[in-house]
């Protein structure tokens, strides 16, 4: 118990920061004069109050965070914050259950974009803004934000950083001080977000829509203010802009930070992971466009390419916007897209899944094993770019894959057990663990997660959290040695 | 401040540790990535693996934005070349090199010249600092630590109070009556390793307290005698470990006292014997060999110094020497945890080589006009000397009585030195006319002492966290134009 109190103090501080972020939808509600205005003061008061009480009560136990505390704090923050993020939704939509509201908030913060709400177009703007804004915060990470702005995290900050940021190799610091790194990443993130916002506006969206879809795009979430998602706009220019920014957000933000620091794009262009990511997506989009044309889904190649490009990039970057109901396409296409979303995005991006770098390491590691069968005594290092990769990293990637598979199977089996059909159960799991959003079947781009039972919704919520924190940060809490003195 | 440190050895690590805790941007370069990973986990800094004399590695570590480059690699040549590269190629404003060989230290033109030399701004030498510290302790045999301020005019001494000292069991308010012949100020008292937070006239000195006293260096013998009975001067000295520090010390002290050196390495013994005058006795044997120590009358020694490079050996040798009857023992201990463990127990003084040198570096890192910094209690507390600039309007210290200055809790202004010329400012020239002739004056602080422009103020801080706050006090606001 003693060990959890200092962690709770930090959690209190983070809750207060989170309460402050609710001012954004409040501002929209206030200036837009919409119906949900009364939902926020209560939510802000409760969140801030809870944070303040925790902080004041546990402050005297404050000490430097240890590696263990980092995992505990990250898991706690990600499990607790959605409960508070759900408050505005519950206060406005009186008949929304806590299960569903929590799911919606988890989906936002983990940048999944799976929704239990329908009739989005008729919701007050501020409610949609809040859903999307959670995606923006969750994208770069609420703890990275906390490290950036709360002075109370010293060395412990880097533990949090490691526990929250996705990717297998996190020891390379960008700046000497961790708070500086966190600040730098958020600055780059916001700068790109601002460009994205203005581009969407110029491409023809309204101000509010541009803001919401900017949030969703930058966080690679997939929430929209329209039931028809991007199908609502029917605008090739908006789609083009969104494709570009989805690709940008799918690359490691550390690369932008370095590029900005060194005033040179060289590192970005030379990065193996980013290059593979973009090439994979371009090749897949072209391939699916050809496939769709060959099957005569759309009359012209141009139209096939337009829809293929948008939906493939959207699903593969784990965003989950849709312009058409791609579940109606010949089954190879949507399944390939879901397969891509498992690994396409880069480590350190706002996307989910296995991450391209792990996939690359797996392929290279596999190739090394094959070579070693032929030349048993060969020394074959696994390299990325020019640098050799430490064997420890390879092992952690293998362990990650093992747990990824286990969670995937476990979640699918649970959903099947509760009576879902195979396609829905499996694709819902894939869509949740990779933080993509739409799957196929019941949870396909045209449907949503509304019809799931409460239990099934909780399974999906937990899977999303596990996926966002890359399994280990949460799973480590369930080991006996973590709690032993 | 953006600081680059080359070498993650003992010195590099201590330097990084004491600087990283003060909100500096620290990057450490070392060839051993494992060591860096450990360091990076423990401290908020960035590690870069590679050879630090290569420009590409330095660039990778962000040397272009660095304000200071500190080279603490094990080899002098690495440090000199690295500083040269940092200075010539990257134009780093301040370069500091750790130099072990005394010969390089003597060649100041070679090391410090910007054009033809290695462009080092400041040479640090832990061995030299340790030697100086030990010599101070030999000079004042009862002191635990002696630190000088204001070019040696003023000293801060740490003493452990013992029963029977004139001041012990008395309140601080009684000091002027009990010790009329020395003006002093007690800036801190540590009881059972914890600082007493509120010190006033009612505070009593108990036996076993570690007392920090500030006084003019000339008054020091009287001051020390007040806290504990004067010990007899050191006449017999035994040094275990004939390394660099042992050799330097023996060389400097030879003739003043009887010295015996124990050294385990036969070849090193031969070298020491040729280097040292004949009256220094070099003995070939292990520092923990009790029979040898007994044969060489360790029980008659006034001081036993354990100066080998091994912490455990030093501790054991000291325990043994003390048990066998040596009057006082001092152990050189690198690991902070060990030093905290043994200081003040059977072992009288635990000295950390890295901390002996850090003060010199800290003076460079501090903002404002900080002249000297000393790290106390192995880095936990700090004392600094700073010059007061500006007048009552532009500075939060100048022109005020000491009781008016808003110091952080526990921090104390101990003394003021007035009339020392202040280097590198126009103002000192202007004031210099008036004051140049008068001898500098040491003023021990009282609550109503008024601080003037140009004074050097010595501040004691029980916690390093207060450093920023105190520095801010000394900073002159923007409206001050000189």
User: What does B2-55 look like in DSSP terms, one character per residue?
Assistant: EEEEE--SHHHHHHHHHHHTTT-EEEEEES-HHHHHHHHHHSS-EEEES-TTSH
A182-196, A404-418, B270-284, B379-393: which range is least confident on average? B379-393
pLDDT band at B215 (very low <50, low <70, confident <90, very high): confident
Closest Cα partner for B214 from B405, B454, B389, B456? B456
Mean pLDDT of B157-170: 81
Please list every residue in chain A whose beta carbon sits closer than 8 Å to the beta carbon of residue B25. 175-177, 180
Is residue B180 domain-resident?
Answer: no
Please list every residue in chain B whose beta carbon sits closer than 8 Å to the beta carbon of residue A153. none
pLDDT band at B338 (very low <50, low <70, confident <90, very high): confident
pLDDT at B182 exceeding the cut of 70 = yes
pLDDT value of position B408: 82
Shared domain check, B10 and B116: yes
Higher-pLDDT residue of B342 and A301 is: A301
Helix (H, G, I), strand (E, B) or coil at B239: strand
Shared domain check, B28 and B115: yes
Query: What is the extent of the structural domain holding B80?
Result: 2-124
The kind and range of the H/E element at A313 are helix A301-316
Mean pLDDT of B273-300: 88
pLDDT band at B44 (very low <50, low <70, confident <90, very high): confident
CA gap A440, A447 in Å, rounded: 9
CA gap A136, A146 in Å, rounded: 14
Is residue B28 domain-resident?
Answer: yes
Is residue B337 domain-resident?
Answer: yes
| Pair of tokens at residue B261 | 């050196």
Complex ipTM over 0.95? no
Calculate how close chain B gets to A240, using CA atoms only, in Å: 37
Q: Check CB contact under 8 Å for B44 and A67.
A: no
pLDDT at B476 exceeding the cut of 60 = yes
pLDDT value of position B481: 46
Is residue B214 domain-resident?
Answer: no
pLDDT value of position A79: 93
pLDDT value of position B38: 86
Rounded to 5°, angle at Cα A336 from A270 and A305: 75
pLDDT band at B141 (very low <50, low <70, confident <90, very high): confident
Instruction: Tell me how many residue pairs between chain A and chain B have CB atoms under 8 A apart.
Output: 35
By the CB < 8 Å criterion, does B42 face chain A? yes
Render pLDDT for B56-112 as a digit per residue (tens, 0 to 9).
999 888 898 888 999 999 898 999 999 999 999 999 988 999 888 878 877 788 888
Q: Check CB contact under 8 Å for B27 and A157.
A: no
Please list every residue in chain B whose beta carbon sits closer than 8 Å to the beta carbon of residue A154. 44
CA gap A269, A282 in Å, rounded: 16
> Highest mean pLDDT range out of B303-307, B361-365, B459-463?
B303-307
Residue window 144-163, chain A: list those with CB within 8 Å of chain B: 154-155, 157-158
Is residue B419 domain-resident?
Answer: yes
Shared domain check, B114 and B27: yes
Shared domain check, B246 and B350: yes
Shared domain check, B351 and B241: yes
Which of these three, B355, B382, B409, is where a domain ends?
B355
Is residue B208 domain-resident?
Answer: no
Shared domain check, B365 and B288: no
By the CB < 8 Å criterion, does B25 face chain A? yes
pLDDT value of position A244: 95
Is residue B137 domain-resident?
Answer: no
CA gap A56, B359 in Å, rounded: 37
By the CB < 8 Å criterion, does B26 face chain A? yes
Which of these three, B64, B98, B124, is where a domain ends?
B124
Shared domain check, B338 and B408: no
Rounded-to-5 percentages of helix, strand, coil across chain A: 70, 0, 30
Shared domain check, B379 and B285: no
CA gap A249, A192 in Å, rounded: 9
Could you tell me if B281 and B261 are in contact, meaning their C-beta atoms sit under 8 angstroms apart?
Answer: yes
Which of these three, B355, B387, B420, is where a domain ends?
B355
CATH number where B461 lies: 3.30.70.1450
pLDDT at B354 exceeding the cut of 80 = no
Q: Check CB contact under 8 Å for B25 and A157.
A: no
CA gap B322, B330 in Å, rounded: 10
Shared domain check, B424 and B378: yes
Name which of B41, B42, B45 is nearest A176 (Cβ-Cβ): B45
Name which of B25, B37, B40 is nearest A180 (Cβ-Cβ): B25
Shared domain check, B340 and B261: yes
pLDDT value of position B393: 73
CATH number where B319 lies: 3.40.50.720
**pTM as predicted:** 0.79
- Ranges of residues in chain A whose predicted pLDDT is under 70: 1-2, 151-157, 169-172, 485
pLDDT value of position A166: 75
pLDDT at B482 exceeding the cut of 50 = no
How far CA A449 is from CA of A49, A71, A340, in Å, comes to: 32, 29, 22
pLDDT value of position A143: 80
Render pLDDT for B416-427 as a digit per residue (tens, 0 to 9).
888 777 654 444
Q: Check CB contact under 8 Å for B42 and A158.
A: no
Q: Quick one: how far is CA B426 from the chain centroid?
A: 30
| Overall domain count for chain B | 3
Percent of chain B with pLDDT over 70: 94
Is residue B143 domain-resident?
Answer: no
Shared domain check, B414 and B349: no
Q: Check CB contact under 8 Å for A175 and B25.
A: yes
Name which of A155, A157, A176 is nearest B25 (Cβ-Cβ): A176
CA gap A76, A65 in Å, rounded: 14
Shared domain check, B87 and B23: yes
């Amino acid at each position: 118990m003693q060990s959890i109190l200092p962690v709770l103090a930090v959690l209190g501080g983070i809750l207060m920061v989170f309460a402050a972020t609710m001012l954004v939808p409040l501002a929209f509600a206030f200036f837009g004069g919409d119906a949900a205005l009364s939902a926020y003061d209560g939510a802000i008061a409760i969140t801030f109050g809870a944070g303040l009480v925790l902080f004041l009560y546990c402050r005297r136990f404050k000490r430097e965070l240890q590696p263990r505390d980092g995992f505990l704090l990250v898991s706690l923050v990600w499990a607790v914050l959605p409960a508070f993020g759900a408050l505005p939704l519950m206060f406005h939509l009186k008949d929304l259950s806590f299960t569903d509201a929590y799911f919606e908030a988890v989906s936002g913060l983990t940048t999944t974009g799976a929704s239990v709400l329908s009739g989005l177009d008729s919701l007050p703007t501020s409610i949609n803004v809040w859903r999307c804004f959670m995606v923006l915060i969750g994208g770069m990470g609420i703890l990275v934000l906390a490290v950036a702005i709360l002075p109370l995290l010293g060395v412990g900050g880097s533990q949090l950083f490691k526990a929250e940021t996705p990717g297998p190799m996190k020891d390379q610091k960008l700046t000497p001080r961790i708070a500086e790194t966190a600040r730098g990443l958020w600055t780059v993130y916001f700068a790109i977000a601002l460009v994205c916002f203005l581009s969407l506006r110029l491409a023809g969206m309204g101000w509010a829509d541009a803001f919401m879809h900017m949030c969703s795009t930058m966080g690679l979430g997939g929430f929209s203010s329209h039931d028809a998602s991007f199908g609502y706009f029917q605008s090739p220019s908006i789609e083009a802009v969104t494709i570009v920014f989805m690709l940008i957000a799918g690359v490691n933000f550390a690369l932008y930070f370095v590029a900005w620091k060194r005033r040179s794009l060289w590192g970005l262009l030379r990065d193996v992971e980013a290059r593979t990511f973009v090439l994979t997506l371009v090749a897949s989009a072209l391939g699916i466009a050809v496939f769709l044309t060959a099957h005569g889904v759309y009359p012209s190649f141009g139209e096939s390419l337009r829809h293929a490009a948008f939906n493939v990039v959207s699903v593969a970057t784990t965003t989950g916007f849709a312009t058409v109901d791609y579940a109606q396409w010949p089954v190879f296409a949507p399944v390939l897209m879901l397969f891509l979303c498992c690994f396409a995005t880069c480590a350190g991006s706002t996307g989910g899944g296995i991450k391209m770098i792990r996939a690359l390491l797996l392929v290279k590691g596999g190739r090394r094993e094959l070579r070693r069968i032929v030349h048993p005594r060969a020394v074959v290092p696994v390299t990325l770019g020019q640098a050799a990769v430490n064997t420890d990293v390879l092992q952690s990637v293998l362990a990650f894959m093992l747990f990824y598979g286990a969670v995937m199977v476990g979640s699918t089996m649970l959903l099947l057990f509760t009576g879902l059909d195979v396609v829905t159960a499996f694709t819902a799991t894939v869509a949740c663990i990779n933080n993509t959003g739409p799957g196929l079947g019941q949870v396909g781009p045209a449907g949503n997660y509304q019809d799931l039972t409460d239990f099934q919704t909780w399974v999906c919520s937990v899977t999303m959290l596990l996926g966002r924190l890359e399994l280990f940060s949460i799973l480590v809490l369930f080991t006996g040695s973590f709690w032993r003195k | 401040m953006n600081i680059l440190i080359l070498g993650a050895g003992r010195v590099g690590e201590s330097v990084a540790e004491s600087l990283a805790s003060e909100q500096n941007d620290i990057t450490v370069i070392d060839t051993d990535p494992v060591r860096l990973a450990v360091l990076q986990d423990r401290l908020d800094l960035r590690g870069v693996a590679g050879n630090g004399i290569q420009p590409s590695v330095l660039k990778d570590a962000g040397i272009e934005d660095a304000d200071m480059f500190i080279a603490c690699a094990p080899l002098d040549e690495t440090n000199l070349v690295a500083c040269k590269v940092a200075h010539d190629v990257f134009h780093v404003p301040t370069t500091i090199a750790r130099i072990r060989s005394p010969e390089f230290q003597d060649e100041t033109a070679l090391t410090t010249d910007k054009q033809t030399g290695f462009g080092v701004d400041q040479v640090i030498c832990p061995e030299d600092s340790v030697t100086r510290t030990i010599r101070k302790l030999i000079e004042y045999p009862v002191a635990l630590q002696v630190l000088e301020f204001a070019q040696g005019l003023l000293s801060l001494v740490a003493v452990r109070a013992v029963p029977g000292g004139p001041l012990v069991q008395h309140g601080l308010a009684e000091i002027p009556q009990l010790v009329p012949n020395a003006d002093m100020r007690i800036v801190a008292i540590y009881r059972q390793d914890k600082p007493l937070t509120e010190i006033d006239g009612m505070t009593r000195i108990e036996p076993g307290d570690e007392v920090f006293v500030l006084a003019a260096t000339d008054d020091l013998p009287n001051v020390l005698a007040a806290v504990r009975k004067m010990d007899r001067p050191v006449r017999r000295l035994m040094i275990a470990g004939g390394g660099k520090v042992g050799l330097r010390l023996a060389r400097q002290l030879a003739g003043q006292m009887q010295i015996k050196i124990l050294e385990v390495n036969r070849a090193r013994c031969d070298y020491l014997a040729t280097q040292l005058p004949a009256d220094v006795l070099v003995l070939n044997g292990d520092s923990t060999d009790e029979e040898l120590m007994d044969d060489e009358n360790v029980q008659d020694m006034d001081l036993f110094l354990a100066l080998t490079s091994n912490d455990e050996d030093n501790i054991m040798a000291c325990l043994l020497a003390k048990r066998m009857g040596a009057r006082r023992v001092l152990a050189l201990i690198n690991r902070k945890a060990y030093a905290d463990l043994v200081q003040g127990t059977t072992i009288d003084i635990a000295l950390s080589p890295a901390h002996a040198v850090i003060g010199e570096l800290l003076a460079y890192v501090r903002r404002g006009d900080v002249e000297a910094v000393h790290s106390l209690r192995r880095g936990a507390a700090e004392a600094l000397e700073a010059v007061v600039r500006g007048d009552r309007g532009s500075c939060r210290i100048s022109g005020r009585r000491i009781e008016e200055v808003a110091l952080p809790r526990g921090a104390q202004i101990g003394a003021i030195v007035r009339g020392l010329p202040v280097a590198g400012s126009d103002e000192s020239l202007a004031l210099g006319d008036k004051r140049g002739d008068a001898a500098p004056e040491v003023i021990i602080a009282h609550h109503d002492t008024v601080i003037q422009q140009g004074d050097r103020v010595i501040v004691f801080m029980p916690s390093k966290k207060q450093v920023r706050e105190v520095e801010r006090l000394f900073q002159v606001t923007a409206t001050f134009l000189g």
